[in-house]
Amino acid sequence: MSDQTSDVPVLELRHLSKNFGGLKATRDVSFRIMGGDRKAIIGPNGAGKTTLFNLITGIYPVSSGEILLFGKDVTKWQSHQRTATGMARTFQVTSLFPKLTVIDNVLLAIEGLRPTKFVMWRFQSSYKDVYDKAHRLLEQAAFLDRKDVEVRNLSHGEQRQLEIVLGLASDPKILLLDEPAAGLSSGESTEMAHFLNKLDPKLAILLIEHDMDVVFDVCADISVLHFGQLIESGTPEQIKNSQRVQEIYLGTG
Amino acid sequence: MSTQNLKIAIVIVCLLALLVLVPMGNSFVVLLATRAMAFAILAMSLDILLGFTGLASLGQAAYFGVGAYLTAYLANYYGFGLKWDFWLMIPIGMAVGGALAALFGLFAIRATGTYFLMITLALGQCVWGLAYRWNSVTGGDNGITLKGGRPQFGIDLTNDINFFYLTFAFFAATLFALYVLIRSPFGKSLLGIRERELRMRILGYNVWLHKYIAFIIAGAFGGLSGVIWAHANGIVTPETVVLTTSVDALLMTVLGGAGTLVGGAIGSAIVFGLREYVSTLVPWWQYVLGGVYVLTILYLPSGLMGIPERVRQWRNSQKKRETTKMTTAPSSH
């Protein structure tokens, strides 16, 4: 018990439920993610994976249950307050700032958790530390040569990568990735998996993904979501061999 | 970055030209330029909302009107703001404009898009209603005439040319202040909100607060333009706060180019110029102005400031066509 912080889950869901009218999009979902964990949530289309992310990040209010970030109950908190605890996410549908340049996108992401975001009497360009950090992030992602390109002119694959760079810009302790490989070619997916595996091992990742190669490559712990319910959790091997999971994916469930 | 410096240089040259050329003109030109610049401050304040935050407000005349009415009222009934205390009137006008925006923002910032437009319109009309009906303070339909004339404090502002210089100073200062604002981290956050609000929330921005602050800043500069307008015009009536004033400010910004800051000033200059000039030629001058607006929105959605970009795109497409011609030509032989 010497190191207390490592015992507190970075993210914990307790009996989380969400109803849209009569539709039960999330039913009694509970799990914990510890620091450095790499967990994936898979499931057929419409299983409620993105809804789950929207609940965790505070875009939707929950119907019942609790969300804890770093041991704190954040169920009633607004999105930006949750981000400030050390959480970041990416979006399934690319959500960048299309008319801004690559570097401006990254600068916005870095400023998000800094008090200087309210400064209005100094040029952004005069903040050297923010600029240096943006350069470092873009260098790591091999984007530096395209830093002055408007984001709408990037290819889809480049935009997917930049999504993750924006997610990393606030130095999160947990990163929620919503289908990072969506729309990528198989070569690009492999590259994405490599990129994710190279990230700081202390960073916890919660991943939603359809591309099973990426899931099996990155995550040691997989949960299967079906009609808003977690029905199976385990190692990649267990999930691959699970009778119930196969039934769901083959449509007999 | 050199294109940025070039743009700044062009703006500075234009400002200097204005400063030198206008006083050479006759008194009509001087007064017209003064009014256009006072109104340009309002248009630029609106651009912070429309062009940089993506909030189309139809109630900007409220802050303009409050600044103007307060100036006229204090001057007429208390003789305040006609000597050196004119310099106090400036921050007071900005504070009142900002305070009203702080109040209205509580209602308006919850909404987006058309709903934001409707709420700001309704709130603006409330102010107009007050100006029109609260006879004892606003003088009702007659408005308030500034009987004391313009302030005198060593410099005689009743002289139109002196007043032009003063208005120019406030216009240039506003342009500078808002330019620094839009390039500051806060200004960049407004751009982010314009582009993708949800992402900004997830990045840790309190989007509501940023919009609210922008709304208050726009209101404060609206108040400033009102103070100057009251002295430029010599009379403040419900016309000052009527919906048309808000619409004018919005259309000027769009005409010049929203999200460019100087676009509002250019739009203001063109509208004031056209209105004064064309109205002496034909009685149906309003149709000319309407036509200009329609053509701009149809063919130049990014305004007059968008023309260089248009030309560049057109040239590029011409170049591409030429290169494809060159590459396809040999193969056809």
DSSP structure class, residue B259: T
pLDDT at A1 (0 to 100):
40
pLDDT at A76 (0 to 100):
95
Residues of B with CB under 8 A from a CB of A: 180-181, 183-189, 191-192, 195-196, 198-207, 213, 217
pLDDT at B328 (0 to 100):
63
Rounded average pLDDT over B281-289 = 84
What gap in Å lies between CA A17 and CA A14, rounded to an integer? 9
In a domain, B142, yes or no: yes
pLDDT at B282 (0 to 100):
83
pLDDT at A203 (0 to 100):
94
B contact test, residue of A107, A108, A110, A159 with most B CBs within 10 A:
A108
Give percent above pLDDT 70 in chain A.
Answer: 96
pLDDT at B333 (0 to 100):
46
pLDDT at B216 (0 to 100):
97
pLDDT at A237 (0 to 100):
87
- Would you say residue B200 has pLDDT above 80? yes
What gap in Å lies between CA B220 and CA B177, rounded to an integer? 12
pLDDT at A45 (0 to 100):
83
Q: How confident is the model at residue A94 (pLDDT cuts 50, 70, 90)?
A: confident
pLDDT at B1 (0 to 100):
54
What gap in Å lies between CA A118 and CA A123, rounded to an integer? 12
Least confident range of A60-64, A66-70, A93-97, A107-111: A93-97
Please give the model's pTM, rounded to 2 decimal places.
Answer: 0.90
Contact A117 B192 (CB under 8 A): no
Minimal C-alpha gap between A91 and chain B (Å): 9
What gap in Å lies between CA A67 and CA A81, rounded to an integer? 13
Rounded average pLDDT over B302-310 = 86
Segment holding B267, helix H or strand E: helix B262-281
Contact B204 A108 (CB under 8 A): no
pLDDT at A253 (0 to 100):
47
Q: How confident is the model at residue A16 (pLDDT cuts 50, 70, 90)?
A: very high
Contact A122 B184 (CB under 8 A): yes
- Would you say residue A2 has pLDDT above 70? no
Beta carbons within 8 Å of B64's beta carbon, 6+ residues apart: B42, B97, B222, B223, B225, B226, B229, B240, B241, B245, B249
- Residue A196, domain CATH: 3.40.50.300
pLDDT at B329 (0 to 100):
58
Measured between beta carbons, the chain A residues lying within 8 angstroms of B204 are 80, 83-84, 112-113, 170
Rounded average pLDDT over A170-177 = 93
- Would you say residue B77 has pLDDT above 80? yes
**Strands of B146-234, DSSP E:** 152-153, 155-156
Q: How confident is the model at residue B173 (pLDDT cuts 50, 70, 90)?
A: very high
Give tens-digit pLDDT for A113-168.
Answer: 999 999 998 898 889 999 999 999 999 888 889 999 999 999 888 898 899 999 99
What is residue A250's three-state secondary structure? Answer: helix
pLDDT at A252 (0 to 100):
56
The count of domains in chain A is: 1
- Would you say residue B302 has pLDDT above 80? yes
Measured between beta carbons, the chain A residues lying within 8 angstroms of B217 are 120
Rounded average pLDDT over B311-320 = 85
**Strands of B131-217, DSSP E:** 144-145, 152-153, 155-156
Give tens-digit pLDDT for A212-226.
Answer: 888 988 998 999 998
- Residue in B191, B205, B213 closest to A80 by CB: B205
Q: How confident is the model at residue A3 (pLDDT cuts 50, 70, 90)?
A: very low
Measured between beta carbons, the chain A residues lying within 8 angstroms of B193 are none
- Across chain B, mean pLDDT equals 90
ipTM, two decimals: 0.88
- Would you say residue A89 has pLDDT above 90? yes
pLDDT greater at residue B64 or residue B316: B64
Measured between beta carbons, the chain A residues lying within 8 angstroms of B180 are 120-123
Rounded average pLDDT over B107-122 = 93
- Residue in A95, A113, A121 closest to B199 by CB: A95
Q: Which structural domain, as residue segments, surrounds residue B178?
A: 22-242
Rounded average pLDDT over B262-269 = 93
pLDDT at B30 (0 to 100):
92
Measured between beta carbons, the chain A residues lying within 8 angstroms of B206 are 78, 80
- Residue in B183, B201, B217 closest to A124 by CB: B183
Can you say how many angstroms the Cα of residue A100 is from the centroid of all Cα atoms in its chain?
22
Q: Which structural domain, as residue segments, surrounds residue A122?
A: 5-250
What is residue A223's three-state secondary structure? Answer: strand
Minimal C-alpha gap between A51 and chain B (Å): 15
In a domain, B303, yes or no: no
Beta carbons within 8 Å of A232's beta carbon, 6+ residues apart: A223, A224, A238, A239, A242, A244, A245
Instruction: State which residue of chain B sits closest to A131, comparing Cα positions.
Output: B185
Measured between beta carbons, the chain A residues lying within 8 angstroms of B183 are 123-125
Contact B186 A119 (CB under 8 A): yes
Measured between beta carbons, the chain A residues lying within 8 angstroms of B213 are 118
The count of domains in chain B is: 1
Tokens 């006072």 belong to B38
Residue B183 backbone dihedrals phi, psi, to 5 degrees: -100, 0
Measured between beta carbons, the chain B residues lying within 8 angstroms of A163 are none
Beta strands A64-69 and A229-234 are unpaired
Give tens-digit pLDDT for B12-56.
Answer: 999 999 999 988 888 888 999 999 999 999 999 999 999 999 999
pLDDT at A107 (0 to 100):
95
Rounded average pLDDT over B276-299 = 85
What is residue A120's three-state secondary structure? Answer: coil
- Across chain A, mean pLDDT equals 89
In a domain, B288, yes or no: no
- Residue in A80, A99, A166 closest to B195 by CB: A99
Residue B215: closest CA among B21, B48, B39, B90 = B48
Measured from the Cβ of residue B322, the count of other Cβ atoms closer than 10 Å reads: 10
A contact test, residue of B184, B208, B260 with most A CBs within 10 A:
B184
Rounded average pLDDT over B291-303 = 86
Residues of A with CB under 8 A from a CB of B: 57, 59, 78-80, 83-84, 88-89, 91, 95-100, 104, 107-109, 111-114, 116-125, 127, 166, 169-170
- Would you say residue A182 has pLDDT above 80? yes
Give percent above pLDDT 90 in chain B.
Answer: 63
In a domain, B247, yes or no: no
